[in-house]
């Protein structure tokens, strides 16, 4: 009787899906354990691939996190642009940004943590730096209409929005989901005050 050749071992992944599968697995792990509890080995296990597989696409753990952070900046850019487009007044545009910032942080917790808490050196990752610069450039238009020192105003409003987002996540304003809308209003109000104080 003729013996059949052994069937290939199923991997559950097509080769073209490996990169995205690793990114998705890493994002899940960060959501569960934070950036400090994330490892490439665990990411490999979660994605159902060998521990060597990530190195086909990423030089190390930080390179994978940098790609997720770049995605985070791209999503921020699109969200902020849409929010700001609904306004014509520069003060209201910056207020809309602040509200959208809080929403992004609340609805994309893992990406938010990676973008701002992974300790990535942007100069090592040009694509990440470029994505961050695109977000900054989006805000420079309305800020410039309010006077000089545009980056100072952007950083001040951004810091205020970041603080509201962090307090929301910590439960300082109450249960985060139910407190989201009120926190967005507070962030918008704070941005207006900062912008009008110019």
Residues 88 and 173 in one domain: yes
Residues 98 and 39 in one domain: no
Predicted pLDDT of residue 117: 84
22 within domain boundaries: yes
192 within domain boundaries: yes
Residues 75 and 50 in one domain: no
Q: Structural domain tally of the chain? A: 2
Residues 147 and 72 in one domain: yes
4 within domain boundaries: no
The pLDDT tens digits for 48-61 are 999 998 898 999 99
Residues 19 and 99 in one domain: no
106 within domain boundaries: yes
> Each residue of 114-141: b (16+ CB within 10 Å) or e?
bbbebebebeebeebbebbeebbebbee
Residue 194: other Cβ atoms inside 10 A: 19
Question: In this structure, are residues 118 and 170 in contact, taking their beta carbons and an 8 Å threshold?
Answer: no
CA distances from 85 to 95, 117, 152, 191 (A): 12, 29, 22, 17
**Helices and strands in the chain: count of H runs, count of E runs:** 8, 0
Predicted pLDDT of residue 17: 85
Residues 97 and 187 in one domain: yes
CATH number of domain containing 29: 1.10.10.60
Question: Phi, psi (5° rounding) for residue 114?
Answer: -65, -45
Residues 32 and 80 in one domain: no
How far, in Å, CA of 43 to CA of 55, rounded?
12
6 within domain boundaries: no
Question: In this structure, are residues 76 and 138 in contact, taking their beta carbons and an 8 Å threshold?
Answer: no
Residues 31 and 76 in one domain: no
Residues 40 and 132 in one domain: no
**pTM of the entire predicted model:** 0.88
Domain extent for 176? 67-196
23 within domain boundaries: yes
- How far is residue 98 CA from its own chain's centroid? 15
pLDDT tens track, the chain, 198 positions: 444 444 333 344 444 689 999 999 999 999 999 988 889 999 999 999 999 988 989 999 999 999 999 999 999 999 999 999 999 999 999 999 999 999 999 999 999 999 988 889 888 999 999 999 999 999 999 999 999 989 999 999 999 999 999 999 999 999 999 999 999 999 999 999 999 998
Residues 100 and 31 in one domain: no
CATH number of domain containing 190: 1.10.357.10
How far, in Å, CA of 57 to CA of 29, rounded?
18
Residues 37 and 128 in one domain: no
CA distances from 169 to 65, 78, 160, 189, 194 (A): 21, 22, 14, 19, 23
Query: Which sign, positive or negative, has the C-alpha torsion 151, 154, 156, 162?
Result: negative
Query: What token pair was written down for 165?
Result: 């987002």
Residues 128 and 37 in one domain: no
- State the DSSP string of 127-155: HHHHHHHHHHHHHHHHHHTT-S-HHHHHH
7 within domain boundaries: no
């Amino acid at each position: 009787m003729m013996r059949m050749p052994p069937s290939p071992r199923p991997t559950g992944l097509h080769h073209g899906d490996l990169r995205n599968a690793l990114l998705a697995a890493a994002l899940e792990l960060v959501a569960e354990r934070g950036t400090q509890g994330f490892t490439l080995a665990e990411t490999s296990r979660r994605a159902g691939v060998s521990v060597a597989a990530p190195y086909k696409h990423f030089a190390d753990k930080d390179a994978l996190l940098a790609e997720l952070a770049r995605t985070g900046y791209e999503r921020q850019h699109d969200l902020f642009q849409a929010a700001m487009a609904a306004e014509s007044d520069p003060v209201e545009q910056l207020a809309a940004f602040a509200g959208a910032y809080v929403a992004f942080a609340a609805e994309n917790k893992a990406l938010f943590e990676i973008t701002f808490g992974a300790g990535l050196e942007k100069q090592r990752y040009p694509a990440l730096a470029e994505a961050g610069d695109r977000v900054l450039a989006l805000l420079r238009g309305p800020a410039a209409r309010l006077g000089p020192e545009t980056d100072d105003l952007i950083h001040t409003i951004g810091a205020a929005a970041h603080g509201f987002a962090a307090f929301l996540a910590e439960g300082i304003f109450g249960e985060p989901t139910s407190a989201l809308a009120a926190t967005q209003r507070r962030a918008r109000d704070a941005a207006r005050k900062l912008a009008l104080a110019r």
